[in-house]
Amino acid sequence: MSNSWPTSGIDLHLELDPATGRRAALEQALRAAIQTGRLAPHARLPASRNLAAELGLSRGTVRAAYDQLIAEGYLTARQGSGTAVAALPQRHTDSTAGRHDLASPGPRHDLRPGRPDVSAFPTAAWLRSTRRALGSAAADAYAHDDPRGRIELRTALAEYLGRTRGVLAHPDLIMITNGYVQALALLSRVLSETGTATIATEDPGVAFHREVIRRNGSAVVPLAVDERGARTDLLGAPGFPSVDAVEVTPAHQHPTGHTLDPRRRRTLIGWARSSGALIIENDYDGEFRYDRQPIGAIQGTAPDHVAYVGTVSKALSPALRLGWIVLPHHLLEPLIEAKRHNDRHTETIGQLTLADFIACHAYDRHVRAGRLRYQRRRDLLLARLHAQPGPLPTGFSVHGIAAGLHVLISLPAEGPTEQQILRTAAANDVGVGHLGDHWHAPGDHPQGIIVGYGTPSERTYPAAVDALAHVLRITHRA
């Protein structure tokens, strides 16, 4: 029989085999739940009196079953603490191995790119905003919401993005998403609904984003990148494939670290206007410019042809899963329908909190503090890479404007390969990215190492940079 009752202090679902004796059936059900991991180590069990009442057994039968499993080592019992599952050695099944890999800690010196300093999350300020937001929230905040997201956050974002990024954003044209990946997936799906759409993406660029586009029905073609950013002059040129949209990172290209040249910005806008194509503007870390005021978003000069996408993943934390799209008018209704059928709406409590966090200017303060912190880290990285016991070997050079959370180190033509550096880095517990992951297709491409400076704590960051410099020097000598 199946019993799952909410009447005791601790709920426990058990299925007892009616063909087995009552005590034996209870022992078997508990033992199986522990062995399969359904009952985790240290999980509390109901008191024998409560479990007996729920299962229709005598209390003596339950106590005898508990005593037997305690004797076998499956359960533990302490006076005043009740009965709990013992801490058995973990079974390494395929499923547990996969979970372990996903949860495994990173390298000791974590310089992988695309990761902010989550240790600097403004917990106290976020809690204050949460209390204010929930204290004043209307009852409908706890119900199903508009697929575009809460009006409080869309209103706050319209003001903030206009003030800081030059975006022309009306709250009605803003949609809240679960980060950049969902935004890109929704846009790709809408573009492909009338047939297979083709989207140009930067080469090199983020491989996962290309896969997201393909999985949502659109084709991908490479758009070359050089020291002036994406080659927007190729769009519409003879020999270049016809595309319906282009995804670009104009403020700070990933992974090269370049910004889009002003002439190419104008060329991109002219192409979109003449062809009716869409520009997907990925402004993933546009707030973080260290040597001058951040360059404004392209959307501000062509709002009818740009879907502007941003998130809090770099400025606050990727754990929040909060992003936004500022949409052209003609995409609003199709995106609302796509969002409604994807997940209906993004969770509300975080939206309300972020709205307050922006409105009270705590977000501005946090971003400014982040700029100072990341600028110090970038400066230290460049200084240590060129310090004693000797500068970087000939052929290594650092690329990228003073912005964002990473730099690109190109490798000498006659020297170590990316894979050699990655192996040496792994042996020294240093985590970095490499350029080879970012090309659209294998080939004779330039090689490089992508170094992020967001993840390590302030205390451990200098040691991580020294460890990286050591890796580059010993790999070159080898």
Residue 386: CATH number of its domain: 3.90.1150.10
Question: Virtual CA dihedral for 238, 241, 246, 248, nearest 10 degrees?
Answer: -70
* Residues 306 and 446 placed together within one structural domain of the fold: no
* Residues 255 and 302 placed together within one structural domain of the fold: yes
Does residue 459 sit in helix, strand or coil?
Answer: coil
427 assigned to some structural domain: yes
246 assigned to some structural domain: yes
* Residues 446 and 349 placed together within one structural domain of the fold: no
Determine the pLDDT at residue 230: 98
* Residues 336 and 408 placed together within one structural domain of the fold: no
28 assigned to some structural domain: yes
* Residues 11 and 151 placed together within one structural domain of the fold: no
Structure tokens at 325: 């799209």
Contact 324, 178 (CB under 8 A): no
Q: Which of 319, 341, 361 is the last residue of a domain?
A: 361
pLDDT tens for the chain, 478 residues: list them: 444 444 456 888 899 998 888 999 999 999 999 988 899 999 999 999 999 998 999 999 999 999 999 988 899 998 777 899 998 765 544 444 444 444 567 899 999 999 999 999 999 999 999 999 999 999 999 999 999 999 999 999 999 999 999 999 999 999 999 999 999 999 999 999 977 799 999 999 999 999 999 999 999 999 999 999 999 999 999 999 999 999 999 999 999 999 999 999 999 999 999 999 999 999 999 999 999 888 899 999 999 999 999 999 999 999 999 999 999 999 999 999 999 999 999 999 999 999 999 999 999 999 999 999 999 999 999 998 876 555 566 678 899 999 999 999 999 888 889 999 999 999 999 999 999 999 999 888 999 999 999 999 889 999 999 999 899 888 876 5
Residue-by-residue DSSP string for 230-281: E-GGGTTSTTSPP-SEEEE--SS-TTT-----HHHHHHHHHHHHHH--EEEE
Determine the pLDDT at residue 415: 81
* Residues 426 and 295 placed together within one structural domain of the fold: no
Determine if the peptide bond prior to 255 is cis (ω within 30°): yes
Q: Which residues contact 69 (CB under 8 A, 6 or more apart)?
A: 27, 30, 31, 34, 75
* Residues 142 and 221 placed together within one structural domain of the fold: yes
Interatomic CA distance for residues 306 and 329, integer angstroms: 10
* Residues 375 and 351 placed together within one structural domain of the fold: no
Structure tokens at 85: 């599952």
pLDDT digits (tens, 9 = 90+) for 188-246: 999 999 777 999 999 999 999 999 999 999 999 999 999 999 999 999 999 999 999 99
- Measure the N-to-C terminal CA separation of the chain; round to a whole number of Å: 68
Q: Which domain holds residue 64?
A: 2-85
97 assigned to some structural domain: no
Residue 65: CATH number of its domain: 1.10.10.10
Number of domains in the chain: 3
Determine the pLDDT at residue 92: 47
* Residues 174 and 25 placed together within one structural domain of the fold: no
Q: Which of 361, 387, 417 is the last residue of a domain?
A: 361
Residue with tokens 């400066």: 379
Determine the pLDDT at residue 273: 97
94 assigned to some structural domain: no
Determine if the peptide bond prior to 389 is cis (ω within 30°): yes
What are the angstrom distances between the C-alpha of 120 and each of 116, 123, 147, 289, 404? 9, 8, 31, 18, 16
101 assigned to some structural domain: no
163 assigned to some structural domain: yes
Helix (H) or strand (E) holding 158: helix 151-165
Contact 59, 52 (CB under 8 A): yes
Q: Which of 318, 337, 361 is the last residue of a domain?
A: 361
For residue 321, which of 181, 159, 153, 199 has the smallest C-alpha distance? 181
* Residues 198 and 294 placed together within one structural domain of the fold: yes
Determine the pLDDT at residue 392: 67
Determine the pLDDT at residue 389: 56
* Residues 199 and 299 placed together within one structural domain of the fold: yes
209 assigned to some structural domain: yes
* Residues 41 and 129 placed together within one structural domain of the fold: no
For residue 130, which of 286, 347, 297, 397 has the smallest C-alpha distance? 347
